[in-house]
Copies of this chain bind each other. A is one copy, B any other.
Amino acid sequence: MSKIKIAIIGYGNLGKGVECAIKNNDDTELYGIFTRRDPASLSPLTEGASVFSVNSILEHKGKFDIAVICGGSATDLPVQTPAFAENFNVIDSFDTHANIPLHFKNVDEAAKKGGNIAVISVGWDPGMFSINRLYSECILPDGNSYTFWGKGISQGHSDAIRRIEGVVDARQYTIPVESALSAVREGKNPELSTREKHTRECFVVAEEGADKERIASEIKNMPNYFADYDTTVHFITLEELKKNHGGIPHGGFVFRTGTTGFDNSTKHVIEYSLKLESNPEFTSSVLVAFARAAVKLHSEGVTGCKTVFDIPPSYLSSKPYDELIATML
């Protein structure tokens, strides 16, 4: 059986993660990496991997099964995914929740025009967390849903700190509040404010002689990012930052608490949690599993934009259906 040929567009942390996930799945192979940079400047992890300029991608039409678009959600994916969906099956991890309906519409039009399939917003949130929110709300319609993130590095918040004058580098951890987790887990259905759900812990390297008090105050009072949270700021050296905060861990929890019974007096708690040593590597692994599903759906004639909500679980697996129901059901 021929392997699923996957192209990677964009070679940052996510692109490298996809490269690893392709290697770790027996039925997938790397077609090549497309980059906006000079192809000669890239050193893929995979020996002998092809690197192409993204400008030449149309020359590769029909040569691979699907492209994983590994750009950022702010400016890359809203342009790239519709553009590439016209000519290729594609999948992305678009994660700006508020803009998903618009992104869906744009990608759907492009994919249908080209007769391709495009799966958007694949990863863990949006992605596996979304799937769990949906399943559990359908099972327990009378109930409450809670999503907590962390403990993990928030790239957006780390970037925001780095833009403050006098900051050399920074890492920001989002941490769920233990007492809030416990209250939810015990089925107490608490109403939780933003501040009560998560705290933010910042590790900051300041320039020599910088006013640390001002930096800490600017962080803690930054609107949207930090002002609504209890925020702790630690100043550390660049060496400490590299040694102790070099990873990109993340994770979180999705809860549904609800009731059943004729008078809704029977309680249930559904909990889904992830503890990830590498956010981009896990996201990439979800992307490759759904890329497999997308290629299968396209081979059955399905086109247009799809999300994780549209994909039957069995399509994610490389195993025959008979084996799945005999061993995993």
Contact B135–A316 (Cβ < 8 Å): yes
Question: Within the complex, what minimum Cβ distance (angstroms) separates A134 from chain B?
Answer: 5
Q: Taking the complex as formed, is A286 at the interface, i.e. its CB lies under 8 A from any CB of chain B? A: yes
CA separation between A135 and B312, bound complex, in Å? 10
Contact B285–A275 (Cβ < 8 Å): no
CA separation between A273 and B256, bound complex, in Å? 11
Q: Taking the complex as formed, is A1 at the interface, i.e. its CB lies under 8 A from any CB of chain B? A: no
The total of chain A residues at the interface (CB under 8 A) is 71
Stretch at the interface among A50-58, A60-68, A321-329: A321-329
CA separation between A93 and B230, bound complex, in Å? 47
Contact B286–A139 (Cβ < 8 Å): yes
- Within A1-32, which residues are at the interface with B (CB < 8 Å)? 17, 19-21, 23-26
- In the complex, the count of this chain's copies comes to 2
- CB contacts (< 8 Å) of A134 on chain B: these are 313-314, 316-317, 324, 328
Contact B325–A104 (Cβ < 8 Å): yes
- CB contacts (< 8 Å) of A281 on chain B: these are 260-261, 266
Question: Within the complex, what minimum Cβ distance (angstroms) separates A126 from chain B?
Answer: 5
Q: Taking the complex as formed, is A268 at the interface, i.e. its CB lies under 8 A from any CB of chain B? A: yes
- CB contacts (< 8 Å) of A286 on chain B: these are 139
Question: Which of B21, B140, B277 interacts with A267 by CB under 8 Å?
Answer: B277
- CB contacts (< 8 Å) of A24 on chain B: these are 141-142, 260, 264
A97-130 to B contact mask, C-beta < 8 Å, 1/0? 1001100100000000000000001000010101
